[in-house]
Every structure is written in structure tokens, then in C-alpha cells.
Amino acid sequence: MRLLNMRVTDNQTCARRAGRRQFERASATRTGLPVERAAGNTPFPLLDLRCRLRAAAGFRSGPRTAHRLQGRLRGSVMSSPVSFGMPENTSSNHQVRPFIYATTTSRSLMFSHSEIQSRMWTKDPSALNLEYTRIMMAFLLFNPKPRRIAMVGLGGGSLAKFCYQHLPSTRIDVYEINPHVIALRDSFHVPRDDERFAVLQGDGAELIKQYRDEYDAVLVDGYDIKGLPPQLTTEAFYQSCFDALAPNGMMVGNFHASNFEFGTYLGRIKKTFSGSVIEVNDTACAHSIVFACRGDTLKRRRGLPKSKPDGMSAEMWLCLAPTYWPMLV
């Protein structure tokens, strides 16, 4: 009798779910709300406003956790529809397929509903939307005209787009292990490959080994659905970054401040770079940005330089300086 009751309950649950899906499809059709696709995924009807607000309240921007969508997107969520493009989270390469979370003012790359990997303002695709990305660009305070930059992790291309626009003489190599992330590059206005910009598919921990004394900066921001991949936290990887840097070049790493292993990672970086390391936190203390120099530039410093360096354009300084003012020493 108990099994029969369970079966009836299951049937009733299935019926309710089927009815809810039919209602959502009918509502989306009746209201004319858009249904997004991302990298070949199946359409996903828009949630009603109440569900969207409830979902937004639980969002956080992590592994870059500096901002909560509930506050940041309050105007756009309440005044306009929010859509989810949801692909499958499986692939033959064991790489999770991301999806796009979009409002009328922004577009975000996500692996799960709880964390933002990258966010773009649709009216200014090259702007650095999240605070931690602007802090990572502080290596330009020491070298405002780098010759060549490597980036481990593409995401939505925030760092890549900013550098491509503001550093016209710099060659930029981007290493991205996930082909599904690369497939969404057009959705985030990532530049096409050309003579000074290239997106290379592969494990950054392996690709960086090919270079010696080459890069003025190596930016490490290669998160996946589980967080920071283990191969990007080893002593061997940091040594490869050190070897790939030109003299006085800098490795810049983004770390989630709540990661219990962060102290271990920081110790490995300090050992590899002989203590020429500084750490800068964002205002929410959600991210720790680590700057490590192949040289003595950072050995006697406790923070970022105080003023605009010679050679940095006024436009770039205006983009970055408001973020640095609270942390300048």
C-alpha cells in the first residue's frame, strides 16, 4: 500500500511539472519574451518575474565573488526580462558547457546559476565590468606599454578585449582549455584572431612551458565550474610562468579569498619569485590579486604606485584609477 501511494504521488508530481512547463511555454509565447540559445543548446523559456527575482537573490559573482547580482542588476532585473541560455553541461572532452545569462544591459558567462565567470556591459563590451579585473590591470602601473602578454583563461574575454583596445602595440596570446568557452567568443565581442591577437585552445599550464623570456605579463584567471584548476596552482606552473616572463615581467593571479588553500598558493609564488610579490584585495575582500615580478621591483613595495605612470594614456588611466585610489600607498 505504501508503494502504491508513492507511485500515485510520483504521478501527481510529474503531472504538476508537465502542467508548469506548458504554462511557461504558453506564457513566453503570449508575452513575446525572447528565448535564447547558446552554443547549440535547446531553448529555455523565460522565468516569470517572481522566479527571476528569487533566482537573482541567490547569485554571486564567483569564482569572482566581488558583486551580488541582486544589488548590481536591481534596475535591469526589475525593469526588463532576464533570459537564460542553457546548454548541456556535458561534452566528449569532459569540459563543462557554459551558458549565457542576459539582461537588457549586461551579458554574463556562467557554468552554474550561482556563479558568474565573466560579465559584459552590452553598450560597452570592452569595459572592465568587475572590480577584480581592473585590479589585475594594475601591472600597467609598472609597465604601461608591454610588448607581449599571455592570458591563461579566456572566459568572456574581459581582460583580452580591454588590452586589445587600449594597447594597440601589444601582442596578446590567450590560452583557453574549454572549447565551449571559445565557441561563445562572438557573443562577448572577443576580437577575431589577427597578427597581434590569438586565442589558442589548450591547457595553459602546458602551453606556457613553450616560452622563455618572452612575456612582459602573464595574467592567470583560468577558472572552471569547480574553481581554480589544480594544474594552475602548482610550483611547477609558477616556475613555468617565471621562465616565460621577460626580465622585470609580472605574473598576475586572481584568487578567491575564501579558498582555504590560498596561503599555500601564495607561499609557492613567493618562493618561485624570491619574495618579489605583493597582494591587493578588492573592496569586498572577495578576491586577492597577487602580483609577482621576475626582478626586484616589488621586493620593497607594500602596494600599488601612487600616480599615473609616464606612457599610460589618459583614457586608460581614467578607466582604471577610480578602482586604485582606495588602495594606493
- Catalytic residue set: 221
Angle at 185 between CA 32 and CA 134, to 5 degrees: 105
Stretch (H or E) spanning 201: strand 197-201
Alpha carbon distance 88, 101 (integer Å)? 15
Q: Quick one: DSSP state of residue 315? A: H
Stretch (H or E) spanning 134: helix 131-136
C-alpha 78: how far from chain center: 25
Alpha carbon distance 238, 290 (integer Å)? 12
Helix, strand or coil for residue 279?
strand
142: CB partners within 8 A, 6+ apart: 248, 250, 293, 297, 305, 309
Alpha carbon distance 135, 291 (integer Å)? 10
251: CB partners within 8 A, 6+ apart: 217, 218, 219, 220, 238, 241, 242, 245, 269, 273, 290, 291, 292, 294
Nearest to 326 by CA among 266, 278, 285: 285
Helix axes 158-166, 314-324, angle to 10 degrees: 140
Please give the grid coordinates belonging to residue 16: 504538476
DSSP 63-75: TTTS--HHHHTHH
